[in-house]
Amino acid sequence: MSAISITPAAGAPQAGTAERAQPRRAHWYRQPALMTGLVLLAIILFMVIAAPLLTSYNPDTQNLNDTLAGISSQHWLGTDQEGRDIFSRLLYGGRVDLQVAFLAVLFPFTLGTILGSVAGYFGGWVDIVIMRLVDIVVAFPFFVLIIALVFVLGPGERSIYIAITLVGWVSYARIIRGEILIAKRQEYVLAAQSGGLSNLRIMRRHLLPNVITQAIIYAMSDIVQDILAIVTLSYLGLGIQPPTPDWGTMISDGQNFLTTHWQLTTIPGLAVVVTGLALSLIGDGLADLLRPGQA
């Protein structure tokens, strides 16, 4: 080394003896909420993915000789009014609903994050314009707007994606914008700016990784809301179209038999509840995990 007489710092960084040691995050596998949610979701995902292995029935096959059957060894959850096996409809329907929900959350997440970052980082008229857009969307109740959009666009999967994206981005935009407003005041951002790094690079590499966690946590609860939206739309006949099975149409189909064969509606309803619960637990668990300073 050169002639610099530096008092040698203890070379390797000292984790435990930092002057102001930051609290270490709890290990993620020790969070009860998170673990319960993950386990539940894993079970649900396994079941819908492994549907062909778990049931030999085709969800669309009608058997008009064996309608409204109860629970039996042949039909684990019975059959519906057209003789279709409920268990297999549940699993295959779950596939559709979950897939659409997970995808449907991605588009608003991406759009909202981009717009929120731009609004928060640049401020000025960009911020004003984007926030006024947010205000307009927020003025309408979520479900009303989605239903209206799908109605206008015509029912079907594609319309679901478009509608949810156009309505759902605002929450992400607000969250990210708020986080960016705070984060951009941090000195490491000033340091990046003084290092001559471009704004795009700063937003992408320096700011986003630090603010994205809030959006991810929100996305967990957003999936639940999206599942509900899809199920609702399908219930109204505007969403997933028959013959594709899905929980919403199952609920809708079964409501005529609510007093006599309540399982037709209740079972898919329960599936929605349990899935929502799993995702909420994951969201809560993540939020606790990523929130600093919890002993």
Q: Which is nearer to other proteins, 60 or 288 (CB)?
A: 288
Regarding 201 and contact with other proteins (CB under 8 A), the answer is yes
Q: Which stretch binds other proteins (CB under 8 A): 5-13, 65-73, 142-150, 232-240?
A: 5-13
Ramachandran assignment for 245, one of left (phi > 0), alpha (psi -120 to 50 degrees), beta (any other): beta
The span of 107-115, 186-194, 219-227, 257-265 binding other proteins (CB under 8 A) equals 186-194
Contact string 210-249 vs other proteins (x = CB under 8 A): x---------------------------------------
By CB under 8 A, tell whether 3 contacts other proteins: yes
Q: What are 121's two structure tokens?
A: 């980082």
Q: Which is nearer to other proteins, 25 or 158 (CB)?
A: 25
Q: Which is nearer to other proteins, 177 or 206 (CB)?
A: 206
Q: Is 200 in the site for other proteins (CB under 8 A)?
A: no
Residue 293 interacts with other proteins (CB under 8 A): yes or no: no
124 binds other proteins (CB under 8 A): no
Binding site for other proteins (CB under 8 A): 1-20, 22-24, 26, 185-188, 190-197, 201, 205-206, 209-210, 295
